[in-house]
Structure 1
Amino acid sequence: MIKQNYQCIGIFDKKQLIGICGIWMLTKYYVGKHIEPDNVIILSKYQNQNIGKKLMTWIYDYAKKNNCVASELNCYVNNDKAHKFWEKEGYKVIGLHYQKKFEDT
């Protein structure tokens, strides 16, 4: 994944890793260069303490320093808690994400 520009960042409480997020920098025709947070996880003990907000603020600053003009992400349809978080962060639902897996034949 590193060859595909994947990076991973963590947020710590002293030496304990309490949150993690993968990030991709991509360019798409309809939006331009953007950052895509992926697999954002905050330990449950640290949720609702603005840790996710701090993590995302760092990501937005990093994206802007790397000339990104936007951020996009995917979120599972049944993850209502995450939907609320992303909406508070200012994300808008602009489409549906479809997937087709290829099976061995």
Structure 2
Amino acid sequence: MLAQIEVMRHLYPKLTLEKYESYLKEMVPHNYKQLAVFEDDVCVGVTGFWTAMKLWTGKYIEIDNFIVHSDHRAKGIGKMMTDYIDVKAKSEGCTAIVLDAFTGNFTAHRFYYNQGYVPKGFHFLKILNEDGLT
């Protein structure tokens, strides 16, 4: 996962290797995984995902940090990644797949609508430490 930091930096330009490594050490034991797509030896897309349980959904997968390198968009890479997550979720008996998309990221909204995702509500956030954000 650490090897794909440059792709992660497309979404989080200030992400340091040290911070990424420390976050992964916390996340991986809590069922965090990544899916990556490579063209030759170059990572062109990556997403994290978690399997968990909520009262309203039961078992679900949450997509986290969905990134396709800007030079490789409109090639079907994003669809390939969501298709994989769909199959994974069904094979693990999940009832839903959830994700967050930043409110101003209309390109992502259109992509997710085209993949069958719909907004169900609002994800509210109260920032307690601005400096701690990536």
Compute the displacement of 1:26 (Å).
1.4
- Partner deviation per Cα, 1:15-66 (whole Å, 9 max, x = no partner): 1110000001111111111111111111111101111001111111111111
Task: Please report the TM-score for the alignment, with normalisation by the length of structure 2.
Answer: 0.73
The corresponding residue for 1:88 is 114
The corresponding residue for 1:49 is 75
The corresponding residue for 2:30 is 4
The answer to whether structure 1 residue 38 and structure 2 residue 64 are counterparts is yes
Distance 1:31 1:83 in 2: 22
Structure 1 outlier segments of 4+, above 6 Å: none
Give the residue type in structure 2 aligned to 1:89.
Answer: Q
Question: What's the % identity of the aligned pairs?
Answer: 33
Structure 2 residues without counterparts, runs of 5 or longer: 1-26, 130-134
Distance 1:51 1:15 in 2: 15
Structure 1 residues without counterparts, runs of 5 or longer: none
Task: Please report the TM-score for the alignment, with normalisation by the length of structure 1.
Answer: 0.93
Q: Tell me, what secondary structure is at the counterpart of 1:24?
A: strand
